[in-house]
Amino acid sequence: MSQSLSQIYVHIVFHIKNTSVDIRQCDKEHLYAYMGSVINSNQSIPILINGPENHVHILCVLSKNIAVAKLVENIKRHSSRWIKTLDDYYLDFAWQGGYGAFSVSSSVHDRTVKYIANQEEHHKTQTFKDEHIRFLKMYNVEYDERYLWND
């Protein structure tokens, strides 16, 4: 082939540190817009970013030129630095070190968008911990629960 082409949808999830302050409702829209700009600057395409006060869900098209780990590292590093500039409330803000990244087929793209868009309502009945373990089991990801919740 003379051209490299890809269309890889990725659902990325990560949580704030247990010692961190929550993300305020009034700051979410700006935070998500900033994260979207970081995704764009990494040659990837943000589709939807949303979440409750303690974690974020991102659906994006992953560039063929970047690894998921590098993209997540850039999103977390830049957004953490950025949010601390808003005001003193966020001086101790930090993301946890880990993340979840799950492939999304074109056939469930729309359903994933709806799921991410409905995060506030969804987390009235399910904790992040339960949600994350459900994803790991659904995608057959082996894990040791002792290490899932450490900062």
Q: Using CA of residue 122, residue 123, residue 125, residue 129, what is the dihedral sign?
A: positive
pLDDT along the chain (151 residues), means of 10: 87 94 97 98 98 96 97 98 97 94 94 91 84 85 79 67
Residue with tokens 């949303």: 50
Q: Quick one: pLDDT at residue 96?
A: 93
Q: Quick one: pLDDT at residue 133?
A: 86
Q: Quick one: pLDDT at residue 4?
A: 86
Q: Quick one: pLDDT at residue 143?
A: 83
What distance in Å separates the CA atoms of residue 35 and residue 22, rounded to the nearest whole number? 17
142 token code pair: 């082996």
